[in-house]
Amino acid sequence: MTETDIIGYYSAQYLTQEQAEGREAKLIDCYAIAGTDVWVRMEVVCEPNGADSYRYIVGFWGQLLTATRAPLRQLAPQA
């Protein structure tokens, strides 16, 4: 699998989940970053507007290692 294949696959998973929860989602909500751990090829991150972000940790053969949903980031108060 190419990196493009992996990003496309997990982005589609994200779209399906968001639509099932009744939210509008777009492919441009997702991006990938290189893995930093030994067995991690990349991390696909999808950040929907107004909902928790998705993180798909992907191994070298495209397999899902973990999937999590992180709470919305809290904005720091401006000084």
Q: Which tens digit of pLDDT belongs to each residue from 51-75?
A: 789 999 999 999 999 999 987 554 3
Instruction: Classify residue 78: in a domain, yes or no.
Output: no
d(CA 12, CA 74): 27
pLDDT at 10 over 60: yes
Instruction: Classify residue 43: in a domain, yes or no.
Output: yes
In a 10 Å sphere around its CB, with 0-12 CB exposed, 13-18 middle and 19+ buried, how is residue 42 labelled?
A: buried
pTM more than 0.85: no
Percent of the chain with pLDDT over 70: 90
Instruction: Classify residue 61: in a domain, yes or no.
Output: yes
Q: Which domain holds residue 41?
A: 3-70
Interval 3-20 mean pLDDT: 95
The pLDDT, as a whole number, for residue 52 is 85
Instruction: Classify residue 49: in a domain, yes or no.
Output: yes
Instruction: Classify residue 77: in a domain, yes or no.
Output: no
Q: Say if CB 53 and CB 70 are below 8 A apart.
A: yes
Overall domain count for the chain:
1
Mean pLDDT of the chain: 88
Instruction: Classify residue 30: in a domain, yes or no.
Output: yes
Instruction: Classify residue 35: in a domain, yes or no.
Output: yes
